Chain A
Amino acid sequence: MNGFRQAMVVFRKEVVDGLRDRRSVATACFGPLFFVISLGAVITFVGKQAAELTRTPLSLPVVGMERAPDLMTFLRENNVKPHEETGSPAELIRAGDAKVVLAVPEDYGAALRAGRAAPIQLISDRSHTTAMAAVGRVEGLLAQYSARLGALRLLARGVDAGIAQAVALERVDLSTPQSRSGELLNMVPLILVLSLFMGGMGVATDSTAGERERGSLEPLLINPVPRWAFVIGKLAATACFSGGAMLACLGGLALLPRVVSFTDFGGVFALPFGTTILLLLPLMVTAGAMQMVVASFAKTFKEAQTTLGFLNLVPAVPGMFMVFLPLVPKMWMFLVPMLSEEVLISRLVRGESVEPRYLALAMLSSLAWAAVAVAATVRLYRSERVLFGATS
């Protein structure tokens, strides 16, 4: 009897067994969805903050409002609603009643009229990151107001206002809507790869270390089946669960723009699903093979689970890096499994093009690593150590 057909028999059994394992299925489905929901929540939150920065009227407590009526008018014209405040600004901030308070000293008016720099205080707590948007907005408006008054003073003395401006700065922004949202969307490759690993973990452990711990491995091995066929069948089942988790994650991501508003967030979400699935196909096998080799060498089910918990963190490392500092793709990166996929997906999700040769290189290198892991597992299954766990 043909080994491939036997591998199919093993595959079918492991899939049925895995699907009946509620914990495996729950991890494969809800794990990725949890990631997507978290991402959606962050996008909504960031979008709200951005909206707050410009569009929503900012309510600004001011101490001594009547001392600067012209400034108040200017603020009102710019979507800020100043209101008189009598208490101590520091108390207001500490109590959390206000994020930023403007204080106009008594000598403000006198200094302004005398043509000196008029003192004004902006009170905030810079350790509160949520206050920064409001602080930045008021600071920007005060700078504009100051520049406007300054220009008027120069004009009154018959001087061209332009003379005070030595350098004319013109900001040219090359970012596209996609790339502006890039920082957050760098989480997409991370959650895709993490989903892939989480999805296969249950079957990978249960069909190897679990099989040994239950005592069902010895009877299984007495069947007239070449050992590689067991490994291939179990690996295929693991890869299927990885793939299921990946599809759950992609499905969640596809629904994301319908549920979460990207307009406030200032970016678009442009993940090409076909290319992404193609890119991740070999990684499903690599992830499964790596999990199987670890779980097969573990002495107990518990040891396998613990070690795989660590293994799952490995793909997270390059992913975490990219969330904060996007990597410039370099040739060597395409030889490292997971890193290559994450780098490419981080480009795809920002709507940047990816050269087919890079895509091919990433897929081939992942497959090569899968082959190494499969060879190690088959070697173990061929030796009698498989009965006891290789570490014993």
Chain B
Amino acid sequence: MIEVQDLHKSFGEVSALRGVSFSARDGEITGLLGPNGAGKTTTLRILNTVLSADRGRTLVDGVDAAKEPLAVRARLGALPHAHGLYPRLTTREHIRYFGELHGLRGAELTRRTDEMLELLEMRDVADRRAEGFSQGQQLRVAIARALVHGPRNVVLDEPTAGLDVPGTRTMRRVIGRLKEEGRCVLFSSHVMQEVTALCDRVVVIARGTVVADGTLDELRRRTGHDNMEDAFEAVIGSGEGLQ
């Protein structure tokens, strides 16, 4: 369960967030949709505890991120906006590194690592160094290491950006599986189709505030548009920056 309450954040003169509030429930996929520059990445960074909010707070399973950042990080699995790899480490070593940082050891670490390799379909490149991996392979390694500790809450920033068709399919399968397992999945996207295809609920964010929040049906009813893409454009006020 993720709760975001009235987040404000400025970078110098630029105010990136002006009161962002929403929640993402367990066993549901919540999409954070908005054009580029709307404040999606900033919101997720505050949620991931790498940025601090000027005002407002975030709770993960009821734990306040500002007060107990370590406890929040332990409950999160995150694919941040930047998710670079270590070119000289293998896929397996990437997964093990993060697993160890989460306190996994011995047989459990090995078992979890193998599960991740299986889930992300990376057995064939398990012991290859990340140097020269395709964008899709890099993204799958980044997701595998983020999920190795089996987090209850999963936060993914643009998880399908730059993926080819099979890569996108794998990603959708992984996200669906996380939902089935009852986890809380929050992912951001500026691709409307992606959100429509996957999400139970959508939080539409534009210019640093939440402009719509609800299930896809609720959004359709509210805007009077049957087509989701028209509905999104209607709540944001323009289709600019969306795909």
**Which chain A residues have a beta carbon within 8 Å of chain B's beta carbons?**
1, 6, 9-10, 13, 16-17, 20-21, 214-226, 384, 387
Contact = CB atoms under 8 A, between A and B. Distances in A.
A222 B84 contact: no
Interface string B5-44: 0000000000000000000000000000000000000000
Nearest to B85: A216
A188 to B, nearest CB: 34
B161 interface: no
Contacts of A1: 102-103
Contacts, number: 80
A54 to B, nearest CB: 56
B81 interface: yes
A225 B80 contact: no
Contacts of A387: 45, 50-51
Given A9-B97, A222-B73, A223-B102, A214 B88 contact: no
A215 B50 contact: no
Interface in B170-189: none
A218 B80 contact: yes
B102 A384 contact: no
A384 B50 contact: yes
Nearest to A10: B101
A371 B73 CA distance: 28
Given A214-B87, A218-B82, 4 more contacts: A214-B86, A216-B83, A218-B45, A222-B49
B204 interface: no
A222 B48 contact: yes
A263 B50 CA distance: 63
A224 B49 CA distance: 10
Chain B, interface residues (CB within 8 Å), range: 20 to 34
Interface string B38-78: 00000001001111100000000000000000110110101
Contacts of B142: 219
Contacts of A217: 82
7 contacts: A10-B101, A214-B86, A218-B82, A222-B50, A224-B71, A225-B101, A384-B51
A16 B89 contact: yes
Contacts of B82: 215-219
A220 B45 CA distance: 13
B195 to A, nearest CB: 23
A13 B50 contact: no
A58 B84 CA distance: 68
Which of A6, A16, A17, A218 has the most chain B CB atoms closer than 10 A to its own CB? A218
B92 interface: no
A223 B76 CA distance: 9
Contacts of B86: 13, 17, 214, 216
B201 interface: no
Contacts of A384: 50-52
A380 to B, nearest CB: 13
Contacts of A13: 86, 89, 93, 97
Contact of B76 (A214, A215, A216, A222): A222
B108 interface: no
